[in-house]
Amino acid sequence: MSDAFAVRLPAPRSPRLAANGARAETLNRVCARCHQVLFSGYDPTWEGGSRKRSPGGSHINSGEARDMMLGACASKLACVDCHDPHAHDGTASLQKLEPARADALCTRCHDTYASPDALRAHAHHDPAGEGARCFACHMPRKNMGLDGGLTRYHRIGSPTDAAKVLLDRPVECALCHRDKEVGALVRTMEAWWNKSYDRGALEKLYGALDADVLLATAERGKPHEQAVAFQLLGEGRVKAAVPVLAGQLTHPYPIVRGYAKRALDEIRGAPVAIDVDAADEVIAEQAKRLQ
């Protein structure tokens, strides 16, 4: 493991620092003094919540520490276990780690999943592949980042949690399995992890059980959900998404327009000559040529 992640920083001490608790909790509170995005006026959050009542699920980069503190591992996993606060970009070093070393950040507590056989039984994916990485499922890339891409959601939980499946779009398995229908993904989740999900609630979210998860999210989702779907549709170069994306170039949230525009650029293989900062009627007229 690189030096950035081999060092365990001591708990900070200062007469001006009112922080009690275990090492991870103390350090996370320090990080959350800035990385909490409580100034946001955007109300919806992941898990069907409201920022006014149940904060969490930042819609832009820099709410990660607050999200982390609301998740399942906040008492054991500290922000500095992954991020070096004194380096330009500690995350880049983490992304270069071998899979076993990255997973070791989790299996030091969840040691029952440390062996390849145990990981295969738990994740139902090849232990050497990305589908079996702890972060892939428990810290999925579904937050909007300041760089126009997606960052990891730091509120650690399970993609099989009912709140995520029945209140969030897209269902998190679709972040990797991008061409699947919601019904197919849910049936697999139920078979693998002995779960049961309300079909009526899923139909309410996606319109139908045979709906393509990402296309349905792009059409029906909340703005932060749509942005995730736009990004993934663009990465997958899904031509069937062009009419939906073109119609979202006048989205009420300018940041979401950017996700639609970049997705169209990816699908077309070249920048689309539309200025999403122009007047809506101008954008709408230009977008007709794409549909």
E-strand stretches of the chain: 141-144, 150-152
Q: Do 150 and 60 share a structural domain?
A: yes
Q: Do 152 and 68 share a structural domain?
A: yes
Please give the Cα distance from 187 to 181 (Å, whole number): 10
Domain count, the chain: 2
The pLDDT profile of the chain, 291 residues, written as one tens digit per residue, is 344 444 455 555 655 444 445 788 888 888 888 887 665 677 788 888 777 766 666 555 578 888 888 888 988 998 888 888 877 766 676 667 677 778 888 999 999 999 999 999 999 999 988 889 999 999 999 998 878 899 899 999 999 999 999 999 999 999 999 989 999 999 999 999 999 999 999 999 999 999 999 999 999 999 999 999 999 999 999 999 999 999 999 999 999 999 999 999 999 999 999 999 999 999 999 988 886
Tell me the Ramachandran region of residue 194: left when phi exceeds 0, alpha when psi lies from -120 to 50, beta otherwise: left
Q: In the prediction, which pLDDT does 38 show?
A: 61
Q: Do 41 and 148 share a structural domain?
A: yes
Neighbour tally for 39: CB within 10 Å: 5
Name the helix (H) or strand (E) containing 238: none
Q: In the prediction, which pLDDT does 163 show?
A: 92
What is the amino acid identity at position 239? K
235-240 contacts at long range (C-beta below 8 A, 24 or more positions apart) = 235/178, 235/266, 236/178, 236/179, 237/266, 237/267, 237/269, 238/178, 238/179, 238/214, 238/267, 239/267, 240/215
Q: Which domain holds residue 77?
A: 3-98+140-157
Q: Are 147 and 62 in contact (CB under 8 A)?
A: no
Residue 272, helix vs strand vs coil: coil
Q: Do 153 and 32 share a structural domain?
A: yes
Please give the Cα distance from 239 to 169 (Å, whole number): 21
Q: Do 152 and 50 share a structural domain?
A: yes
Q: In the prediction, which pLDDT does 6 show?
A: 43
Q: Do 41 and 147 share a structural domain?
A: yes
